[in-house]
């Protein structure tokens, strides 16, 4: 199956990156190469693009798609949280722009054997990086009832988290839960029928929770924002596209803390903590997709783009 992923908020992201033709840019979530293609096409021979992804299928697809620009593109299989290591190995200290698109790609959702979707029966997998040993099956069958409840409550924001965890534990005592449809049945049984009739798919929030836990998505994001901002040149831009409130909150807080890191009590006449601003938040409110984009690509509906611009105080 071809790696297809329609890049969300593409024009808005490219515009906000304010690309310099001879600049250095990093796409930390390369995917099918949609954002990278637009960046690379705006670079001249001195410009450079580094694409990072942990998914082997994404690497193969993006390599093919970016073939016309191979003289200025370097593709690395890794996680964006290791961007400092990747840049060091390439002898790059500072870059002019970074983009992260945190959505699961259409390819990952639509390829049944990847086990990301509740719409097709497949083995419970959900690994972004298939070199990882632990899969969604391990979480579903081995986590304690409390830990299942915790991740479904915190990462899925599902008010039936307690009941879903209880049903999963009861079901796996009969036999291990192996497939997406087996898990769907368990979740369905845990949610009242009148709620199922009006809400979206009953499994949606639980699948989101398991995927986030398995791939450490929120931890990786939280721990990487400061490091990536430190790698930006003066006026360098950092664009992050999120797809749910948990990610958006982390980005909003991370950007705000880099703009105003002072920890002094508000009644102090002068700052004594010595923490200096690293730049400014360009997007006071997140940029959201147009009605036309949502119409064209339903998966863009929950997306939000936030932008940070680096300023180095001396």
Whether 210 and 223 map to the same domain: the answer is no
Sign for the pseudo-dihedral over CA of 134, 136, 142, 147 = positive
Tens digits of per-residue pLDDT, 206-250? 999 999 999 999 999 999 999 999 999 999 999 999 999 999 999
Whether 202 and 229 map to the same domain: the answer is no
Mark 84-114 as b/e (b = at least 16 C-beta within 10 Å): eebbeeeeeeebbbbbbbbbbbbbbbbbbeb
Whether 69 and 190 map to the same domain: the answer is no
**Can you give the pLDDT at residue 108?**
74
Q: How confident is the model at residue 312 (pLDDT cuts 50, 70, 90)?
A: confident
Query: Which of 5-14, 66-75, 220-229, 284-293 bottoms out in mean pLDDT, i.e. has the lowest?
Result: 5-14
The answer as to whether 260 is a domain residue is yes
The answer as to whether 1 is a domain residue is no
Average pLDDT, the chain: 94
The answer as to whether 21 is a domain residue is yes
**Can you give the pLDDT at residue 289?**
96
Reply yes or no on whether the pLDDT at 74 is more than 50. yes
**Can you give the pLDDT at residue 314?**
67
Reply yes or no on whether the pLDDT at 143 is more than 70. yes
Whether 201 and 231 map to the same domain: the answer is no
d(CA 47, CA 68): 14
Whether 38 and 180 map to the same domain: the answer is no
**Can you give the pLDDT at residue 307?**
98
The answer as to whether 40 is a domain residue is yes
Whether 145 and 172 map to the same domain: the answer is yes
Q: Domain range spanning residue 263?
A: 10-107+218-310
Whether 233 and 298 map to the same domain: the answer is yes
Whether 98 and 224 map to the same domain: the answer is yes
Give the end of a domain, one of 173, 193, 215: 215
Reply yes or no on whether the pLDDT at 1 is more than 70. no
With pLDDT > 90 as the criterion, what percentage of the chain qualifies?
A: 85
Query: Which of 3-17, 90-104, 237-251, 262-276 bottoms out in mean pLDDT, i.e. has the lowest?
Result: 3-17
The answer as to whether 4 is a domain residue is no
Give the end of a domain, one of 164, 192, 215: 215
Q: How confident is the model at residue 63 (pLDDT cuts 50, 70, 90)?
A: very high
Give the end of a domain, one of 215, 230, 253: 215
> What is the value of pTM for the model shown?
0.92
**Can you give the pLDDT at residue 6?**
66
Reply yes or no on whether the pLDDT at 300 is more than 80. yes
Choose between 6 and 79: higher pLDDT: 79
Q: How confident is the model at residue 200 (pLDDT cuts 50, 70, 90)?
A: confident
The answer as to whether 3 is a domain residue is no
Whether 53 and 96 map to the same domain: the answer is yes
3-state per-residue secondary structure call for the chain: CCCCCCCCCHHHHHHHHCCCCCCEEEECCCCCCHHHHHHHCCCCCCCEEEEEECCHHHHHHHHHHCHHHCCCEEEEECCHHHHHHHHHHCCCCCEEEEEEECCCCHHHHHCHHHCCCCCCCCECCCCCCCCCCCCHHHHHHHCCHHHHHHHHHHCCCCCCHHHHHHHHHHHHHHCCCCEHHHHHHHHHHHCCHHHHHHCCCCCHHHHHHHHHHHHCHHHHHHHHHHHHHHCEEEEEEEEEEECCHHHHHHHHHHHHHHHCCCCCCCCCCCCCCCCCCCEEECCCCCECCCHHHHHHCHHHCCCEEEEEEECCCC
d(CA 179, CA 52): 30
Whether 41 and 167 map to the same domain: the answer is no
Tens digits of per-residue pLDDT, 240-274? 999 999 999 999 999 999 999 999 998 999 889 98
Whether 253 and 298 map to the same domain: the answer is yes
The answer as to whether 295 is a domain residue is yes
In CATH, what number is assigned to the domain containing residue 207? 1.10.150.170
Average pLDDT over residues 164-174: 98
Whether 25 and 167 map to the same domain: the answer is no
In CATH, what number is assigned to the domain containing residue 297? 3.40.50.150
**Can you give the pLDDT at residue 198?**
84
**Can you give the pLDDT at residue 17?**
98
The answer as to whether 63 is a domain residue is yes
Q: Based on the structure, what is the number of domains in the chain? A: 2
Reply yes or no on whether the pLDDT at 7 is more than 50. yes
């Amino acid at each position: 199956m071809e790696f297809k992923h329609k890049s969300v908020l593409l024009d808005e992201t490219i515009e906000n990156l304010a690309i310099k033709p001879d600049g250095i840019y990093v796409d930390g979530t390369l995917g099918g190469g949609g954002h990278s293609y637009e960046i690379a096409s705006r670079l001249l021979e001195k410009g450079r693009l580094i694409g990072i992804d942990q998914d082997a299928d994404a690497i193969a697809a993006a390599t093919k798609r970016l073939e016309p620009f191979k003289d200025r593109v370097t593709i690395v299989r890794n996680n964006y949280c290791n961007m400092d290591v990747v840049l060091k190995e390439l002898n790059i200290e500072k870059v002019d722009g970074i983009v992260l698109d945190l959505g699961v790609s259409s390819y990952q959702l639509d390829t049944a054997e990847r086990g990301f979707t509740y719409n097709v029966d497949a083995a419970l997998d959900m690994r972004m990086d298939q070199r990882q040993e632990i899969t969604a099956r391990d979480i579903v069958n081995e986590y304690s009832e409390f830990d299942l409840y915790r991740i479904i409550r915190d990462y899925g924001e599902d008010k039936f988290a307690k009941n879903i965890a209880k049903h999963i534990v009861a079901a796996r005592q009969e036999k291990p839960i192996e497939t997406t449809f087996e898990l769907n049945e368990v979740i369905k049984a845990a949610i009242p029928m009148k709620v199922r009739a009006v809400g979206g798919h009953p499994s949606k929030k639980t699948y989101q929770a398991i995927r986030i836990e398995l791939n450490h998505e929120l931890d990786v994001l939280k721990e990487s924002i400061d490091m990536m901002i430190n790698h930006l040149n003066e006026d360098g831009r950092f664009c992050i596209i999120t797809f749910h409130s948990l990610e958006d909150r982390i980005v909003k807080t991370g950007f705000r803390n880099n703009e105003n890191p002072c920890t002094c009590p508000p009644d102090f006449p002068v700052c004594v903590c010595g923490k200096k601003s690293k730049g400014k938040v360009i997007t006071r409110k997140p940029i959201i997709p147009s009605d036309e984009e949502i119409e064209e690509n339903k998966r863009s509906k929950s997306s939000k783009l936030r932008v940070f611009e680096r300023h180095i105080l001396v």
